[in-house]
């Protein structure tokens, strides 16, 4: 049987500021199976971002075991985590996080650059993904020349271009008007329908409703 | 991710802030340009001085009388009258000596028509022309017969001829030297100056004529000796000394009553001085290259700070530390190498301009240019590595949250 894409097993993340220990993630256990669309819902300060950092391999758990697509992240160095992110995770951020003064095409092609993919293939693959998301006529536009909705679609294209095991979307509609937000959610649903595994993190229950399964988070604790 | 990709990335980045890139490069440009210009000026000056020293004569040794002594008082060098024409003839017998020309000089007024000038009258022989590297412009030089018969014939230096308003059509005319009529038989090609001594302001006449009409006695002021080959100069010098000491009856510890000046020695001294100056100038110029490198480091540090978020994004999408490090390092090196190339162009232009103005040949050694590019690349690496490391070790979470 294929392993779960996300496998959090009694994971803690504790921050230390001076002598004070702040547990941001408390005994979190979560499994996301291939092809699932899961939403993590919780108010700000509930530990959502910490969860996303751990799941996204930007951070390591203080305790517990986390494996992504069958690979345990314990004992991995920074560069191993970077390689793991490159292969298995596509990020979609609230504030898009596109490279400024860089064309949509180059933005989408950037993850492939760090995988060592040649220039021509990078451009072919990036163009294909952008065209699939309806941005075929925006290839040479820079982020500042695109609307918020378009920027987020470019960001989703960048997340998709490496064919990752998991799309990790952190408040993807947070900076968008309701119309663009609805479009982005529709796009995520369409990706899910096409077989993608998606973990969506949001404070907004109506956004979370787009997902197939919702997991609530409060004070660092997960509850189904 | 190969080097070409990184250079392309760096160029795109630098292209998006051209003014900043240009100003950053300016430090390296000025540094490299001044190194190249100063080294080139130093080498040009050296070759110019060397050429004019070599113009003094080929394998030239000059024998002059030593200081005279009256009691305990030592007179000025050259004041004694110990060298004679017979000394010159004896030197001519030495096997390593190619040619000998005695010189007997005096100052005198020279008149041609309504023009006059006071200049050096050099009494010498036909060997003088070859030994001192002069060449004739017009007419003929002093002949053996003219010297043997102490004929009143004269050959003018280019400057003297100019001062007197004499040209090609004046050959054969009469001029007056010290009140005596002389026939003008030739005019020399200009040779230029060594230091403040103008080698073209003189009148050459048979040494016998000077002795009969102006100076008297048997002594000479100097003996110019051309050694057969450069390798034999030290040997010739020793033989010369031996011959003259024997002729002057100097034995044991008695000091020489003559001096032998070696042109090669002078050449060595001058080259070593100019060589030291060149190194000094290049050293000063390379300080500005270091300052340029600090400018690059400064801008790269600012750039890393400004682009913290970009670095966070790149790390989130899978960039490893080494890749970020390399990206920023290549950016710094690209800046410094582009600056270096621009500096070379500027330096070559400046060197060419100065060489043109000073009238010496433009000396540019490929090694200097290669060294300049290599050194500017090194500056990029040395001053780029720290900012690049700063970028590489950024925590992606903090970097992504950075506003």
User: pLDDT tens, B133-182?
Assistant: 888 898 889 988 888 888 999 999 999 998 998 888 889 899 999 889 99
Residue of chain A minimizing CA distance to B8: A119
CB contact set of B184 (below 8 Å; sequence gap of 6+) = B112, B139, B153, B154, B155, B156, B166, B170, B171, B172, B173, B174, B175
Percent of chain B with pLDDT over 70: 94
Higher per-residue pLDDT: B278 or B216: B278
Contact assignment for A87 to B318 by CB distance below 8 Å: yes
Question: What pLDDT score does B348 carry?
Answer: 92
- With CB atoms and an 8 Å threshold, state whether A114 touches B319: yes
State the best of A15, A76, A113 to mutate against chain B, taking most chain B CBs within 10 Å.
A113
Contact (Cβ atoms closer than 8 angstroms) between residue B343 and residue B31:
yes
pLDDT, one tens digit per residue, over B251-272 is 877 888 888 888 777 777 877 8
In sequence order, what E strands does B46-135 have? Answer: 60-65, 69-70, 73-74, 97-112, 115-124
Tell me the chain B residues in contact with residue A113 when contact means C-beta distances shorter than 8 Å: 1, 5
Q: What angle do CA B121, B126, B130 make, to 5 degrees?
A: 100
DSSP-derived pairing of the beta strands A71-72 and A63-68: antiparallel
Q: Do A79 and B318 touch (CB under 8 A)?
A: no
Phi, psi dihedral angles at B68 (to 5 degrees): -80, 155
Q: What is the pLDDT of residues B333-346, one digit of tens each?
A: 999 999 999 999 99
The residues, any chain, with a CB within 8 Å of residue B180's CB and separated by 6 or more, are: B152, B213
pLDDT-derived band at B350 (thresholds 50, 70, 90) equals: very high
CB proximity A48 to B under 8 Å: no
CA–CA separation, B109 and B141 (whole Å): 21
> Would the CB atoms of A97 and B316 count as touching at under 8 Å?
yes
Contact B159/B201 with Cβ under 8 angstroms? yes
**Cα–Cα distance between A54 and A76 in angstroms, integer?**
13
Task: Count CB neighbours of B352 within 10 A.
Answer: 14
Categorize the per-residue pLDDT at B388 as very low, low, confident or very high, splitting at 50, 70 and 90: very high
Nearest Cα of chain A lies from the Cα of B324 at a distance, in angstroms, of: 10
Angstrom distance (rounded) from CA B184 to CA B176: 10
B402 close contact with A: CB closer than 8 A: no
Q: Does A79 touch chain B (CB under 8 A)?
A: yes
Mean pLDDT of chain B: 86
Give Cα B275 to chain centroid, integer Å: 9
Confidence check: pLDDT of B119 > 70: yes
Percent of chain A scored above 90 by pLDDT?
Answer: 87
**Token reading at B161:** 């001829």
CB contact under 8 A, B316 and A100: no
The yes-or-no verdict on residue B48 having pLDDT over 90 is: no
**CB nearest to B318's CB, from A53, A86, A93:** A86
Q: What is the pLDDT of residues A57-70, one digit of tens each?
A: 999 999 999 999 99
Task: Give kind and range of the element (H or E) at residue B181.
Answer: strand B180-188
- Predicted ipTM of the assembly: 0.93
Q: Is B11 on the interface with A (CB under 8 A)?
A: no
A123 Cβ under 8 Å from any chain B Cβ: no
Rounded to whole angstroms, how far apart are CA atoms A48 and A214? 13
Calpha distance A97→B58 (Å, rounded): 78
- Residues 6 or more apart in contact with residue B307 via CB below 8 angstroms: B391
The Cα A191–Cα A219 span in angstroms is 31
CA A157, A161, A167, A171 torsion-angle sign: negative
Give the largest CA-CA distance in chain B.
Answer: 105
Contact by Cβ (8 Å): B101, B224 = yes
Across chain A, mean pLDDT equals 93
Mean pLDDT value of segment A193-205: 94
């Amino acid at each position: 049987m294929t392993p779960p894409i996300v496998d959090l097993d009694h994971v803690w993340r504790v921050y230390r500021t001076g002598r004070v220990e702040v547990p941001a993630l408390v005994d979190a256990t979560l499994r996301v199976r291939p092809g699932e669309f899961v939403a993590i819902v919780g108010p700000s300060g509930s530990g959502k971002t910490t969860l996303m950092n751990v799941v996204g391999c930007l951070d390591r758990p203080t305790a517990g075991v986390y494996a992504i697509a069958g690979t345990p992240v314990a004992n991995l160095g920074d560069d191993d985590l970077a390689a793991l992110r490159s292969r298995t995770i596509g990020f979609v951020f609230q504030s898009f996080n596109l490279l400024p003064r860089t064309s949509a095409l180059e933005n989408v092609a950037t993850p492939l650059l760090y995988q060592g993919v040649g220039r021509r293939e990078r451009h072919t693959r990036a163009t294909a993904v952008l065209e699939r998301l309806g941005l075929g006529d925006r290839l040479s536009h820079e982020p500042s020349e695109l609307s918020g909705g378009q920027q987020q679609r470019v960001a989703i294209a960048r997340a998709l271009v490496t064919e990752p095991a998991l799309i990790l979307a952190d408040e993807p509609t947070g900076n968008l008007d309701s119309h663009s937000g609805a479009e982005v959610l529709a796009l995520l649903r369409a990706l899910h329908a096409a077989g993608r595994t998606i973990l969506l993190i949001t404070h907004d229950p109506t956004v979370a409703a787009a997902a197939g399964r919702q997991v609530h988070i409060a004070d660092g604790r997960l509850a189904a | 991710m190969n080097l070409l990709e990184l250079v392309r990335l760096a160029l795109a980045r630098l292209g998006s802030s051209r003014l900043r890139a240009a100003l950053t490069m300016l430090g390296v440009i000025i540094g490299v340009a001044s190194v190249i210009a100063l080294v080139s000026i130093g080498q040009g000056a050296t070759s110019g001085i060397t050429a004019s020293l070599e113009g003094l004569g080929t394998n030239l040794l000059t024998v002059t009388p030593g200081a005279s002594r009256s009691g305990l008082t030592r007179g000025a060098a050259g004041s004694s009258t110990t060298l004679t024409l017979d000394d010159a003839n004896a030197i001519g017998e030495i096997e390593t000596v190619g040619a000998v020309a005695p010189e007997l000089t005096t100052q005198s007024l020279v008149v041609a028509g309504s023009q006059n000038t006071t200049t050096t009258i050099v009494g010498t022989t036909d060997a003088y022309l070859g030994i001192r590297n002069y060449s004739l412009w017009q007419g003929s030089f002093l002949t053996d017969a003219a010297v043997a018969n102490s004929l009143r014939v004269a050959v003018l230096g280019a400057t003297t001829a100019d001062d007197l308003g004499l040209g090609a059509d004046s050959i054969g005319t009469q001029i007056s030297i010290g009140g005596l009529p002389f026939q003008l038989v030739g005019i020399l090609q200009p040779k230029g100056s060594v230091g403040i001594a103008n080698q073209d302001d003189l009148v050459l006449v048979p040494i016998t004529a000077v002795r009969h009409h102006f100076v008297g006695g048997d002594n000479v002021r100097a003996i110019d000796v051309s050694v057969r080959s450069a390798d034999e100069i030290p040997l010739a010098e020793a033989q010369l000394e031996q011959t003259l000491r024997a002729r002057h009856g100097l034995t044991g510890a008695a000091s020489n009553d003559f001096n032998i000046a070696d042109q090669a020695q002078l050449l060595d001294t001058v080259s070593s001085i100019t060589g030291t100056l060149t190194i000094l100038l290049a050293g000063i110029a390379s300080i500005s290259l270091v300052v340029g490198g600090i400018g690059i480091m400064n801008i790269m540090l600012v750039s890393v700070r400004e682009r913290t978020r970009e670095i966070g994004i790149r790390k989130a999408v899978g960039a490893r530390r080494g890749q970020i490090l390399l990206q920023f390092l290549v950016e710094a090196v690209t800046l410094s190498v582009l600056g270096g190339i621009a500096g070379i162009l500027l330096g070559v232009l400046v060197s060419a301009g100065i060489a043109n103005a000073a009238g010496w040949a433009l000396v540019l050694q490929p090694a200097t240019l290669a060294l300049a590019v290599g050194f500017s690349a090194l500056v990029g690496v040395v001053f780029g590595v720290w900012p690049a490391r700063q970028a590489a070790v950024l925590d992606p979470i903090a970097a992504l949250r950075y506003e």
